[in-house]
Structure 1
């Protein structure tokens, strides 16, 4: 992915201010030369990438060198920019000195930067000589891939329609088996090869109204090949417990304690347990080995199991109904393929539709009724509506079936993606664990932080990123599993394991991403299979190991890292880290990261226990995302709010910014009230945030909550949880774009304010309140205006 590396670097370098200041002396000119050489280099990459795919090993080495040089260039240019910006925000006497004169330490650092730029330029010179020897052509017509306009796709394919095309009978049969029949605990198994639609069908069953009404407790867990019984049981217990605060205690329980707790809860309920993607025959015995966690209370409880192996389905020692999922018949295959390749909104503009249908039916038969193949191929051909392209696919169809056929379809569709930015975005998804439901907003923050969303004059980077999600869904690279009721677009996505495996292999070829499990060995930033340098590493389900780091690493992911994994040993060495994303893990000494990792853009720590956030956080002047909901701030300084690039903040018990500290770029803010500030009204300060789109506040309890006439000019979502106040004051003109307002466990005193009736864009009000306001006159007025009121008093509902 050398092309994406150079383009991302150029995009980032273009936004730096190093050329606007005399502070950098002669370094400014060196930076300009370096940028020009990167632009020139970019022009060769398309031809070089084509030669690499042809198997020319020397070209592959050259592309790796180009990527390395591009990243090194960005590091040194950003180091210069960092010096300049830090000098501008220093306070006091030393700050004044550094702004108007150069200290000896500054001169030494500038000299080092100049030497480093010269070294990178020499490396680029050697690369240009190699380009000449390998006869790689400069593509003068297209220096960079164009960014397509995806406006027409923004609301397409936001809901999964695969199982509605072809599996209606299977869906009804499985639902009936679950909600009817004998009282004793029994199993329904769905068996089929990879890509046949097992998980999609199971999820449709799981979310059906009949199943939701029949079972009192529903649990979904993915088992996968790397089964860890204790982690699986802990996840099940977290799902069946209503008290969210229990999660920390659960992580400290042993296997017997968790199993007994599950048993004690489920013995009183009719439950459905979904075990998705089971690989081993003894899985059921494994999860019940210390205690029978899943009781048979003779109340029609059920287990729904999906697997690729028939012996797994038949091994469970309880009444079992095995449903072997067949491939789609020719007609259903055509319906699925044509819904993707020739969607209704495109048909009216297609000439020679009969010819497309003739070719499409032949291609459909080649897919052997495999839904994933039909969906991906259909998505690819929908973006190539010319009969010659369809004929070429038919002529080049591989003679082998199943896995090899799928890999060929995926590779062709991947290569056809509109630009290298979106190709990088797809490979990035492989950093998440198998069957993981990925938050679209989190993914967008990651893409932006790593430089894979280009700046365009027509769209914000957030809108461009959402267009990319829509494009990937349209091509069936990802499956949308959660849709925003407010914006009617994707909120949660997942990637099929076959597609994910392909992406992992593709990403590993030239060091884009390395995914490491406990079964592999190696170090962060160095491949587990060879000596190639990796710039992004994802560690998943590791325990009892020390994770060593390559100093060149730009992104580090951690999922399910146990307390015995010493991540902190190597973090301070990662000087060029842009992304630190850790979930369901333990991490220590986070404060040590801050001092050297000055390039950080994205910090997400969803970790076990609290994380200490030091006042030195102010050094991260490029930080965009700070998502640390369980944080302890160890200084009275308000330095976080001095970071001008902040876009997304999620913190607990953290000081509110002062009026003079408001970060102008902040778009999303989620905060718990600090104990000493919970009775203060935060709105007079927060309403001055000019770019804020989403605001979530928890446990604020002022007597009055006030909204000024010019407040929150761009706010679209306001989410209040555990808040209480006697009265609201809302001036006319406040929150002109607010469309969604949510209350959970709030006490509203005098009830809903009349001012809500004057909000021009309000479309949804969600309420799960501590007292009954169902007959509130304001709510009646909102209903009459067409606003939807979601949720019932005393009962939590999914909205």
Structure 2
């Protein structure tokens, strides 16, 4: 949403204004004035956005102008900051490397005079926008709320896989039995269902079960996704089954045939399980084995576990295959999953009338058609809005569409409810990562801080605030927790569901926040 863009710029202006000294002289006043103008714009931006979404063509044009102008303003701010840094370290060795981030700035923004001229230009553009706002009759008296980090209190909780496994207990047992028992010949189990039904969650639970770990000597997990290169998948597999770090480095230099042969040589001597998660193309198995049969049938009870949304993919693997059609949750299991998310134990003590919430909650769960992702995200949203009016509003505003469109509406609702623009920017930024990618939280936090998405807050370091943001997104089920630390319980790795990632890509592109083109992100 455009408010995210303007707010991010405001954060940058605020940082500069706080750090500024007499260095910028008269330009300092201009920068501060620009900050005031942008804050004024943000104050009624929500109203403009609602007009845009209700179909106002004029408001849509205005929102586009807002985005362009805020980016111009950010360039001015960065130019002023650049000049300050240049004068502080201009004699230091390696100066050009230190300011490489500013290399994209226009060459005419390299002196104080030129910065001042550019500020005047941006201010004129803002004045034009304000006049347009008045013509559109947008409320100019909306005040700007000072957003700050809330007290997270009991936010850090254990993220249990068992919560997301609600309703899949029988499926879990059946699949484990199919993998562990049965004949000696190589065979497969294909889990097939629509997006958001819990295929990957179920497969991950099976993959990490003690029975599976004890039965198989080699375990491989690879996310295939819609766009993949055979050589890349084979290298991922080879590294997982190779215990030698030196060998792992050598794998990078191998061609497809060499990698496939190495996999074959290792797996020939072991009982293995290969999980191919999120397969889209029917001939994926053939592609992996096209140069040489990388996954041999050694008649030692080895197995393949595959997840897919497509029935033709589930049936196409060239080996005996058990198709496990994953059904949506029934009404009672839907309520169980939803209530775990919407009414977590650490919040129940503060709720006065649980019966009323259960009455509304059961009506809401029936609307979700047993789709776990919808139940989890909506439950996460309502856990932050524990009042009966908010729950009633969800029922009254329920979209008439189902499946993907219903899911998109739920995601948009949760996104809009995020407590501040910084957190919204952090979520949209996840669209920059590849599909099905396990994201290191430590690396992600460094990127968020570098992008200035994390605000300075009292009694918190930037890293602590960022960790709280990760936890907030996880509690809302907007990200999936892949791994937590055993000591402090911090989230170590996360991933974002395909449906959520697709929504973030579209929202970020519409907002001018970032574009994803053929798997490559550009900001």
TM-score computed with the length of structure 1 as normaliser: 0.61
Task: Mark the CA change 1:86 to 1:184 in structure 2 (over 3 Å): closer, same or farther.
Answer: same
Q: Which residue of 2 aligns with 1:655?
A: none
* Conserved 8 A contact 1:184-1:296: yes
**3-state SS in 1 of match to 2:291:** coil
| Mapping of residues 557-572 of structure 1, within 5 Å | none
Matched, 1:150 2:152: yes
Task: Mark the CA change 1:132 to 1:259 in structure 2 (over 3 Å): closer, same or farther.
Answer: same
Task: Mark the CA change 1:73 to 1:173 in structure 2 (over 3 Å): closer, same or farther.
Answer: same
Q: Which residue of 2 aligns with 1:724?
A: none
Matched, 1:288 2:283: no
Q: Which residue of 1 aligns with 2:166?
A: 165
Of residues 116, 121, 124, the one that matches 2:123 is 121
Offset of residue 108 of structure 1? 7.6
Q: Which moved more, 1:155-164 or 1:445-454?
A: 155-164
Q: Which residue of 2 aligns with 1:68?
A: 68
* Conserved 8 A contact 1:8-1:454: no
Deviations 1:57-95 (A, max 9, x none): 322332232233223223223322322232223449xx9
**3-state SS in 2 of match to 1:234:** helix
Q: Distance in 2 between matches of 1:15 and 1:508?
A: 26
Deviations 1:522-541 (A, max 9, x none): xxxxxxxxxxxxxxxx44xx
Offset of residue 431 of structure 1? 1.2
Deviations 1:97-147 (A, max 9, x none): xxxxxxxx9998222222222222222222222222222213543344453
| Mapping of residues 339-738 of structure 1, within 5 Å | 339-517=340-518, 538-539=520-521, 555=523
Matched, 1:40 2:79: no
Q: Which residue of 1 aligns with 2:29?
A: 29
**3-state SS in 2 of match to 1:227:** coil
| Mapping of residues 90-109 of structure 1, within 5 Å | 90-91=90-91, 109=111
Task: Mark the CA change 1:425 to 1:161 in structure 2 (over 3 Å): closer, same or farther.
Answer: farther
* Conserved 8 A contact 1:18-1:28: no
Matched, 1:14 2:14: yes
Q: Which moved more, 1:172-181 or 1:139-148?
A: 139-148
* Conserved 8 A contact 2:108-2:114: no
* Conserved 8 A contact 2:158-2:489: no
Q: Distance in 2 between matches of 1:195 and 1:517?
A: 23
* Structure 1 or 2: more strand by fraction: 1
Q: Distance in 1 between matches of 2:19 and 2:303?
A: 66
**3-state SS in 1 of match to 2:143:** coil
Deviations 1:438-486 (A, max 9, x none): 1112222222222222222242222222222111111111110100122
Q: Distance in 2 between matches of 1:476 and 1:401?
A: 20
Offset of residue 35 of structure 1? 2.3
* Conserved 8 A contact 2:180-2:212: yes
Q: Which residue of 2 aligns with 1:134?
A: 136
Task: Mark the CA change 1:152 to 1:23 in structure 2 (over 3 Å): closer, same or farther.
Answer: same
**3-state SS in 1 of match to 2:129:** helix
Task: Mark the CA change 1:257 to 1:145 in structure 2 (over 3 Å): closer, same or farther.
Answer: same
Q: Distance in 2 between matches of 1:31 and 1:298?
A: 73
**3-state SS in 2 of match to 1:151:** coil
Task: Mark the CA change 1:369 to 1:48 in structure 2 (over 3 Å): closer, same or farther.
Answer: same
* Structure 1 or 2: more helix by fraction: 2
Q: Which residue of 2 aligns with 1:587?
A: none
Q: Distance in 2 between matches of 1:395 and 1:43?
A: 28
Task: Mark the CA change 1:86 to 1:330 in structure 2 (over 3 Å): closer, same or farther.
Answer: same
Q: Distance in 1 between matches of 2:255 and 2:132?
A: 59
Quick one: higher RCO (CA 8 Å, sep 6+), 1 or 2?
2
Offset of residue 369 of structure 1? 1.5
**3-state SS in 1 of match to 2:352:** coil
Q: Distance in 1 between matches of 2:141 and 2:159?
A: 37
* Conserved 8 A contact 1:18-1:84: no
Task: Mark the CA change 1:353 to 1:106 in structure 2 (over 3 Å): closer, same or farther.
Answer: closer
Task: Mark the CA change 1:243 to 1:108 in structure 2 (over 3 Å): closer, same or farther.
Answer: closer
Structure 1 residues not aligned, in runs of 5+: 96-104, 519-537, 540-552, 556-799
**3-state SS in 2 of match to 1:152:** coil
**3-state SS in 2 of match to 1:16:** helix
Deviations 1:145-171 (A, max 9, x none): 453322321x22533334431111211
**3-state SS in 2 of match to 1:292:** coil
Q: Aligned-pair RMSD on alpha carbons?
A: 2.4
Q: Distance in 1 between matches of 2:342 and 2:139?
A: 35
Q: Which protein has the larger Cα radius of gyration, Structure 1 or Structure 2?
A: 1
Task: Mark the CA change 1:176 to 1:79 in structure 2 (over 3 Å): closer, same or farther.
Answer: same
Offset of residue 55 of structure 1? 2.5
| Mapping of residues 208-357 of structure 1, within 5 Å | 208-357=209-358
Q: Which residue of 2 aligns with 1:111?
A: 113
Offset of residue 245 of structure 1? 3.7
Q: Which residue of 1 aligns with 2:104?
A: none
Q: Distance in 1 between matches of 2:315 and 2:55?
A: 45
* Conserved 8 A contact 1:11-1:455: no
**3-state SS in 1 of match to 2:516:** strand
Offset of residue 372 of structure 1? 0.9
Deviations 1:499-522 (A, max 9, x none): 11111112221211211117xxxx
* Conserved 8 A contact 1:189-1:321: yes
Q: Distance in 2 between matches of 1:185 and 1:214?
A: 14
TM-score computed with the length of structure 2 as normaliser: 0.91
